[in-house]
Amino acid sequence: MQKQKLTKLAAAVSALCLTLSVSAVADDHHHDHHQQPSNQVPTSAAEWFKVGEQAVLVNKRDAAELRKAKNVILFVGDGMGVSTVTAARILEGQMAGRDGEFNRLGFEKFGYIAHSVTASANQQTSDSAPTATAMVAGIKANDGAISVDQNIPRSEKSAEQHAAHSVKTILERAEERGMSTGVVTTARFTHATPAVNYAHIADRDWEADSNLPAGATVKDIARQLLETPYGDGLEVALGGGRSYFMPNTVADPEYPSQNGRRKDGRDLTLEWTSKYNNSEFIWNQAQFDGINPARTDHLLGLFERSHMRYEADRKDDAAGEPSLADMTDKAIKILQKNKKGFYLMVEAGRIDHAHHAGNAYRALTDTVALSEAVKKAKQLTNDKDTLILVTADHSHVFTIAGYPSRGNPILGKTAVDGVALTDSLGLPYTTLSYANGPGWTGGLQRKEFNPANEGTVSAPYAGSKLRPDLTAVDTATANYMQEATVPMGAETHAGEDVAIYADGPGAYLVRGTLEQNVIYHVMADALGWTNNRR
C-alpha cells in the first residue's frame, strides 16, 4: 500500500513538473507572439532564414488561447480578396517609402488564418447578402437574402413568411444577453453587409418602404433597424444611406435640393432620438467630433444620402466625414462601457464599389483605411478578452500579373529594373488588371473613373492597335481604370476563397479551409455560448 502511495505521489510530482515546464515554454511562446518581427528587409540568405525561423515562433500559442471572449469585433473588407490584400500591402509600403513586398497590413500580423469558402446556397459566385448572412447567422442563404434561410423565394412579400424563415443573428443574440452592439460601415447602413446584422428580408434591395413591391407586408430594412425586438437595439449605427431614413417631404440637411426616399412620412432619424435616452443623430464631421462617448448610449450617424465617400475623396466633402478608423474608435468607446461585453461589425464597404468600377486606386486605398481601423481596434481593446476577426464576404476578378521587379510601383506599368515590358502587340501593360469590367479597351476607347458621379469619362486612346499605348499614360493616378479582358458595364465578384485573419480568444479555431458560415460559430464559441442557437 505504501509503495502504491509513493508511486502515485511520484506521478503527481512528475505531472506537476511537466505542467510547470509546459507553462514556462508556453509563456515564452506567448511572449514571442507579441514581439513582432523586424520590418527590416533581409539582405542575405542567413537573414531570410532567420526571418522564417522567427515566423514559426510567432505562430506558436499557449493554452491561454482557450479562454473565452468578452467582446467580438468582426471586420469585413467587402470584396477584399487575397489579390486585393496583396496589392494594398505593397501600395501602403510604397506610399510610406518602404519595401512594399515586405510590408504587412495591420491584420496580416494576426496569428491565425484560414480560407473561407464563399459559395452561397444557390450560387457558385455570390453577392454580399448571403455571404454576410453566413458570417453573422451561421447558415448558407440564397443570393439577395438578408438573414433568412434558403427556402424563402426572393419575391416573397409576406411578413409572416419572413418571420417563419428568419434566422437570428449574432448581434440579436448578443442583445438578448444584455451585451452592447454596433455596426460601422462606409456603405449605406441599409446595404447588404451591415443590414444582415439587424434585418430579415428576402430581397436586399428593399432598403426603404419606397423600394417595396406593391402588396408587401414585410418591413423595409431601414424600418427594421428602429423596430428590432431584441434587447434595447443597437447602441451604435454609423455609415451612409441617410435618404432611406427620411421622408420624401423633407429636404436633406447636406443637399437641400434633394429629399428623403420614404413614402410613409416617417423620419426614422427623429424616431431614433425619441426612442432612446442619451441618444444622438449626427450627419457631419463637426457633430461627430462633438460626441462624448461617456454621455452617449445610442448613436446614429448617417454621413451621406447614399454611400460614404471613398477614402481618397473624403477630403472633398464640405460637411466632412469621419474615417473608418475614427468611426471604429468612437464605436468601441461607446460599446465598451457595458461590463457584459459587446459585438461590433466594421465594414469597409467601398472596396467592393471601386472594384466594380474597375478602379484599383480607390479599392486599395480603402483597404489600407480598413487596416488603420483594425489597428485602432487593437489599441483600444485587450487581446485577452477581445476576439478580432478580419475577412471578406467575397473576392473580385482582380489580378496581379506580369514579371515586374521587386519594388516596381504596384499601380504602374510592368517593368524590370525600370524598363517597361511589352505584350505581343509591343505595348506596355499594367501589373494590375481585371478579368472583366468597364475598363475594356477593345472598342478603341479608353475610360477613366469619374468620382463626381461614380461613372466613366472618355480618356485619350493613344495608338491604333487593339490596346491603347500606355507609354505616356500615368496609370498611378486616382482615376485611372485598369484594363479589363471582357467588356462589362461593371466588374464582377469572383468565386475563389477569401482569407480569415484572427487574433484573441477563440482565434485558434480559425484554421484550414472553412465554410463561410463557420465564422458565426467561431464567434459564438469564443463568447462561450454553449448552445449557439439559444
Residue 411: strand pairing partners:
none
Residues 151 and 234: their CA atoms lie apart, in Å, by 28
Residue with cell 505616356: 472
Residues 430 and 398: their CA atoms lie apart, in Å, by 12
Angle at which helices 360-380 and 324-335 cross, to 10°: 30
Q: Which residues are CB-contacts of 412 (< 8 A; sequence separation ≥ 6)? A: 430, 431, 475, 476
Phi-psi category of residue 438: left, alpha or beta, with phi > 0 → left and psi -120 to 50 → alpha:
alpha
Question: Is residue 27 classed as helix, strand or coil in its secondary structure?
Answer: helix
Here the cell at position 166 is: 428568419
Smallest Cα–Cα separation from 299: which of 267, 324, 333, 345? Answer: 333
Q: How many CB atoms lie within 10 A of CB 529?
A: 17
Smallest Cα–Cα separation from 184: which of 240, 222, 230, 252? Answer: 240
Query: Which helix (DSSP H) or strand (DSSP E) does residue 300 occupy?
Result: strand 298-302
* 288 and 304 Cβ atoms separated by less than 8 Å: no
Here the cell at position 46 is: 542567413
Q: How many CB atoms lie within 10 A of CB 48?
A: 12
Q: What is the DSSP string of 349-360?
A: THHHHHHHTT-H
Query: Which helix (DSSP H) or strand (DSSP E) does residue 18 occupy?
Result: helix 2-34
Phi-psi category of residue 117: left, alpha or beta, with phi > 0 → left and psi -120 to 50 → alpha:
beta
Tell me phi and psi for residue 138, to 5 degrees: 80, 15
Residues annotated as part of the active site: 128
Give strand ranges (E) for 304-427.
342-348, 386-391, 395-396, 398-400, 415-416, 419-420
Question: Is residue 313 classed as helix, strand or coil in its secondary structure?
Answer: helix
Give the 3-state DSSP-derived string for 372-393, with helices as H, strands as E and coil as C. HHHHHHHHHCCCCCEEEEEECC
Question: Is residue 413 classed as helix, strand or coil in its secondary structure?
Answer: strand
